[in-house]
Amino acid sequence: MDDVHKQVFITGGPSSNSILVTNFSGQVTKTIDNQLGATGLELSADSTQLYVALASGDAIAVIDTTTLAETARHATGARTCPTHLARAGAYVWFGYGCEGTFTGKIGRYDPATGQPVGNLQGNARFQRAPLLTAATTATGPLVAGQLGLSSSTVQVYSLAGESLTAGATGDVVGASLTDLDITPDGTTLLSAAGSRDRVDAFAPADLAGRGAYSVRPRPNSVALNAGNTHIAAGAITGDSKDVLVYKLGASVPVRTIALGTGDVVAPRGLAWSAEGNRLFVVSHHDNDPEPELSVFTNATGT
């Protein structure tokens, strides 16, 4: 989500080689090609640069958000498969690791120098590139999640400049973890995992429970709005309640969103605009790999 330039960036994962750009009405304005396996996306703090994890290109690309042209590409090493990004402190952290037996790791990318540094995850072991989410504070936390296993785990790290310090860890998120989000102050972690029928909330300091939000079986997306007031949650199970919007800490959704017949929210397919009341939903129709983008205003019902 680029609120400065009022545009949305969408990637297709390791088997896609482009980034789709739309305006805030959902109309496609550009396709940025030669982005090999573009998956994870992260904006710079001033929204002038878009960082792209090229899972099939072993690199991190930098896109100018005004011209939509690639301005740099920084190699992460052969067969590293950088996949997920999160900005915290002065750095962009990336989860990397090609499909295989516990090859997933965490790296650090410095936008000032263009230098990626890997293998910063400590003793944590990830089967594949870990999903990352981070608070906006200088000390984090940064949270790494193991995706898609029968017992998914999360590892919490605190930040100290260039270093990660491991904190709480556990399998509290359940099986088949798909999405994570965290409040900007780092006090509440949200997870969507396929083995649950709800989005769970935890305290990152010790992974103590901080509530739950009923969704439906197999939740796969969760997104906290910019005002830190509402969350949106979606699931693979399609019905008339494809997306539910809750006020943080509430038990009953303030809005229920139905997509088209046969449409389900894509994994990690939810994002909010900065004003906190416009929700963007990426979805798939039946087994069609081509995504659809829907835009919902007044998403919090206020």
pLDDT in tens, 60-100: 999 999 999 999 999 999 999 999 999 998 999 999 999 87
Q: Which residues contact 291 (CB under 8 A, 6 or more apart)?
A: 10, 12, 20, 266, 269, 282, 283, 284
What pLDDT, on a 0 to 100 scale, did the predictor assign at position 153? 95
Q: Which residues contact 64 (CB under 8 A, 6 or more apart)?
A: 48, 49, 50, 70, 71
* pLDDT beneath 70, residues of the chain: 238
DSSP 210-231: EEEEE--SSEEEEEE-TTSSEE
Which tokens sit at 148? 């898609």
CB of 36 closer than 8 Å to CB of 19: no
What pLDDT, on a 0 to 100 scale, did the predictor assign at position 285? 87
> Rounded distance, CA 67 to CA 118, Å?
30
